[in-house]
Amino acid sequence: MGQILLKECEKWAMKHGYSEISMRSGGNREKAHQFYIKVGYENTKWQKVFNRSLK
C-alpha cells in the first residue's frame, strides 16, 4: 500500500512541475527507512534534534 501511495504522490508532483520529493522520517523508524531505500529514495541528510526542558 505504501508503495502505491508514493507512486501517486510522485505522479502528482511531476504533473505539477516538481522535480524532486523530500520526506522526513524519525530516526528510530528503521523499517520505514528500509522501505524508502527499497523503492528508490536516497538518504541525503542525517540530523539530530536537541531539546532541553526549562521547567
Helix (H) / strand (E) element for 3: namely: helix 2-15
The pLDDT tens digits of the residues spanning 17-50 come to 999 998 888 888 999 999 999 999 999 988 888 8
What is the structure's pLDDT at 16? 97
What is the structure's pLDDT at 27? 86
Is the pLDDT at 4 greater than 90, yes or no? yes
Is the pLDDT at 10 greater than 90, yes or no? yes
Q: How many whole angstroms separate alpha carbon 22 and alpha carbon 46?
A: 13
What is the structure's pLDDT at 48? 82
What is the structure's pLDDT at 47? 84
Q: How many whole angstroms separate alpha carbon 39 and alpha carbon 3?
A: 7
